[in-house]
Structure 1
């Protein structure tokens, strides 16, 4: 499944500041409850009607209690109506008390909204190993209905940790003659690596989608988007991508057999890819977004692994920060990727500048390459000339500021 190109659609943020509340029947908000010193730290999304839901989670074995509670909610009937997120404290590695606190978050919010507990999902992000201040969270939940707290922008701000900006997108497409909208918001800046990261992403849509099909679509799209980004190679304990489909658009129920299924999955991929790239671009201390395209691999899986190896290399990342066209680091990462390649066939380009052909260096203008690498987005292309497998990964450069941020994260 490739990013949707043939389907007519609009990026709503360019027109009406699209967000998770642009799809019909969704509202969102955020407030400061006191987990952080000043910034918003408690956010929520609410659907007017129960929404079919699907999620994917971190592969880290230390899964935080909020993930366990959300898994339980979705397992009940693959339907939720509300989501509550706190930032500042991850509620991870917190034992029985942490699990009890996650359940209490769900119980308090469901009671506030008049919902069944299993119709509420919860998520947390922030410092690991610290217990949540449940008295402050309870007080914050009691203020969730206040009109001044009800905007998508406040939700987008409330879920952030070391992020420097909000991350959002909304798109529209037509299915069954109905206008379908998909909106998304995400957070993530550090501890980012393929197979989920210290990131949370929430997607809403007014499309009517069958539960099993929604789960299949999300897993496929996640493998091509969120699982293709890295900032620093660390996979966190709290990562989650959650999608809610409330059916308010009144289209015929979408499944893999629906003639417009690829239109829907293409639109979903467009939203998730944008959010993933926004996360990569906002890597802690980053100054550049890096996009690595690997093609000509024997399989798509091989292309994915090689592109991830390149984008994850600290030597590649630091060279990009320094605008150093050191192609040897790229070739090195290809070689240790774990995928068999034929060195004599490998071609490498940095932007429009070919630097390696059939495994051998080319003469190129170093000043021109350096100037190109000064841009905010740096593209690296690799052609293995072995097959039709292709994949793209996204990341960022590695800077002095990344060390500063993470050396003093708790202080």
Structure 2
């Protein structure tokens, strides 16, 4: 489905665009004095909820708490902090995560079990809990003030609250990642979806150090939401790699409060699921584009694979290759590195059938190099978005992954991240 065929359209409002959702972001001074670092997302009615989490065995304390709170498939709020991961700090971390849920619940007038918690930042350092909890208090006050005022009639205020929430979850991100769509339904009425995300480094398939939060006013049960989100993540957040490292805090959450009064069915349901997937893919691409120190977005598309899993393995392997990433930075058309990365991906394919393209320029055919213009190749590799395509000529399946180049700036950023 291309852009002209989409049944939905982009709108403003970010995470607070769907009916009944509100958001706020405040400066609590967790790590930096003037940075937004506590975000609060709230539904004025009970919402169905779903979550997907890092597959790292080492998991942060708020992630364990959120998994427990989501066992009943219900939630009213999400509280997030940046500047501290609240990971690997023992019993204090468990207590801090629950305190965040408890305080948010107290100020919002809801049960702590209906609050989901996420954190991002430095691992292994105890959270400055007093600052975090005070930030939650301030964010709750701002958010509830918006609810009382009926912020739906004050769109600029609603957009600003959502934008500050998006700012508050950022760490080394250089760009804010927020989207909102609306989907007109055949039965009448409109469904909205909003989202914010963060991610820049420590990004690798099976979810990297990224957080993604989505809200919708569609009426969909949690079991269906879980399937929809899981499938969307497989084609988006799990197809992104920046540096091959996988974090402890990663999660994607989707809340549906039903405030539109619409339960999408038939074609509307198909379009809704496509819309969720499209939203996640756009966020995933933004994360890859904003990779730490990155100057280029790399998109790798693999076609003609025997299985979807083979296509995914190859696409992710190429995006994750340090040699491919370095060649992309140096604008060197070293297609051998691309084919090599496909070869160690664990996928089954015949290398003697593979064609390799940089954009529209064929650089290898049937596993062997062909004559091509080095000048044209360098021009293509100089674009801000570089597309690498492989046709395996082995089947009908295809997949796409996203990554970025590897620059000197990446080492600079991560050489002093803790300090």
TM-score over 0.5 (shorter chain) = yes
Contact 1:4-1:263 within 8 A present in 2 as well? no
Relative to structure 1, is the Cα distance of residues 239 and 303 closer, same or farther in structure 2, using a 3 angstrom cutoff? same
CA distance in 2, matches of 1:92, 1:116: 24
Matched, 1:322 2:330: yes
Choose the corresponding residue for 1:51, options 38, 47, 50.
47
Which consecutive segments of 4 or more residues in structure 1 shift more than 6 A? 2-5
Aligned residue for 2:14, secondary structure, equals coil
Find the aligned partners of 1:333 and 1:154 in 2 and give their Cα distance: 40
For 1:250 and 1:299, how far apart are their aligned partners in 2? 39
- Counterpart among 95, 101, 111 of residue 106 in structure 1: 101
Structure 1: runs of 5 or more not aligned: none
Offset at residue 139 of structure 1 (A): 1.6
Query: Is 2:148 the counterpart of 1:152?
Result: no
CA distance in 2, matches of 1:279, 1:347: 28
Work out whether 1:241 is the aligned partner of 2:241.
Answer: no
Q: Which residue of 1 aligns with 2:235?
A: 224
Shift of 1:261: 2.1
Q: Shift of residue 5 of structure 1?
A: 6.9
Of 252, 260, 279 in structure 2, the residue corresponding to residue 271 of structure 1 is 279
- Once the 2 structures are TM-superposed, how far is the Cα of residue 8 of structure 1 from its aligned partner? 2.0
Residue 153 of structure 1, CA deviation: 0.9
Alignment of 1:8-47 (within 5 A): 8-12=7-11, 17-37=12-32, 38-47=34-43
Identify the residue that residue 162 of structure 1 maps to in structure 2. 172
Is the partner of 1:291 in helix, strand or coil?
Answer: strand
Give, in whole Å, the separation in 2 of the partners of 1:241 and 1:265.
Answer: 16
Post-superposition CA distance 1:264-310 (Å, at most 9, x none): 11000111000000000000000000000000000111000010010
Conservation of the 8 A alpha-carbon contact between 1:3 and 1:270: no
1:293-346 deviations in whole A, cap 9, x for unaligned?
A: 000000111000010010000000000011111101001111111112111110
- Distance (Å, rounded) in 1 between the aligned partners of 2:136 and 2:375: 56
Q: Any idea what SS the aligned residue of 1:151 has?
A: helix
- Kept in 2: contact 1:312–1:395 (CA 8 A): yes
CA displacement, residues 137-190 of structure 1 (integer Å, 9 cap, x when unaligned): 222222121369971111010000000011011111123322111111000000
Mapped to 2, the partners of 1:89 and 1:7 lie a distance apart of: 39
Q: Which residue does the alignment assign to 1:301? A: 309
Which among 381, 393, 398 is matched to residue 373 of structure 1? 381
- 2:380 and 2:205 map into 1 onto residues whose CA distance is 27
Q: Distance in 1 between matches of 2:353 and 2:87?
A: 46
Q: Could you tell me the TM-score, scaled by structure 2's length?
A: 0.93
Q: CA deviation at 1:210?
A: 1.3
Give me the whole-angstrom Cα distance separating, in 1, the residues matched to 2:3 and 2:332: 34
Cα distance 1:302–1:166, how it changes in 2: closer, same or farther (>3 A)? same
Kept after mapping to 1: 8 A contact 2:288/2:404: yes
Q: What SS is found at the alignment partner of 1:91?
A: coil
5 Å matches for 1:8-407?
Answer: 8-12=7-11, 17-37=12-32, 38-75=34-71, 77-144=72-139, 145-146=141-142, 151-175=161-185, 176-252=187-263, 254=264, 258-407=266-415
CA distance in 2: counterparts of 1:200 and 1:214, whole angstroms: 18
Which TM-score applies when normalising by structure 1? 0.95
- Structure with greater proportional helix content: 2
How far apart, in 2, do the equivalents of 1:308 and 1:191 lie?
15
SS of aligned partner of 1:196 = coil
**2: CA distance between counterparts of 1:123 and 1:3?**
34
Q: How far apart, CA to CA, are the structure 2 residues paired with 1:141 and 1:398?
A: 37
Question: What is the aligned length?
Answer: 402
Q: Per the alignment, do residues 187 and 337 of structure 1 end up closer, same or farther by CA in structure 2, a change over 3 Å counting?
A: same
Question: Partners of 2:202 and 2:117 in 1: how far apart?
Answer: 20
CA distance in 1, matches of 2:311, 2:4: 21
Structure 2 contact 40–136 (Cα < 8 Å) conserved: no
For 2:190 and 2:407, locate their aligned partners in 1 and report how far apart those are by CA, in whole Å: 43
Structure 1, residues 192-247: CA drift from partner, whole Å, max 9, x if none?
00111100000011101111111000000100000000000111000000001010
